Amino acid sequence: MAFLYLKALHIIFIVTWFAGLFYAPRLFIYTMEVQEKEAEPARSILLQNLLRWTRLLWWGITWPSAILTLLLGPSLIFSSAYYQNMPGWLWIKIGFVVALYGYQFACHAMFVRLQQGQGVWTSQKLRFWNEVATILLFAIVFLVVLKSMVSVLWGLLGLLVFTILLMLAIRLYKNLRESKG
């Protein structure tokens, strides 16, 4: 029974962690766009609000959820039979999770720079960066749900196709935005 409670909590904190990982880079985008395009006094007012919202999201939701996810993940492994014989799909999932923490740390570096009033990337580059969490989410969920039913090769091929389609959609969206003015 404890395993199911741990699993439920793990899923809840994964969801809240991803909420932060999805929304924080959007706030980074908006911050860069305000820095690039807005004139005073709107720039100062908007930046103050965007930086505050980002700070609250980052320290109030994203980091606590990432830490709780990290604590609950291994507790699930050790409260199940997996710790005795880890299946291959779980090792691959752990690899994607490590990549997700790498993404978190890279976002943290951007967060710090923005909080200090420094710029990061252009808003267009940040729009591509924002999709990294989406790609990792797809990879992790498909691995957890399908486990060994899907070969790693087919899964990676599907992930590649998904990534290409996502990037094409971002380009199309940019072109539509630019054509409307």
Q: Any known ligand binding at 147?
A: no
The set of residues, in sequence order, having a beta carbon less than 8 Å from that of 68 and lying 6+ positions away, is 9, 13
DSSP 96-132: HHHHHHHHHHHHHHHHHHHHTT---S-HHHHHHHTTH
Helix or strand run (H / E) with residue 134? helix 132-146
Q: Any known ligand binding at 93?
A: yes
Alpha-carbon gap, residue 8 to 31, rounded angstroms: 35
Question: Residues annotated as binding site?
Answer: 10, 93
Question: Residues annotated as binding site for heme?
Answer: 10, 93
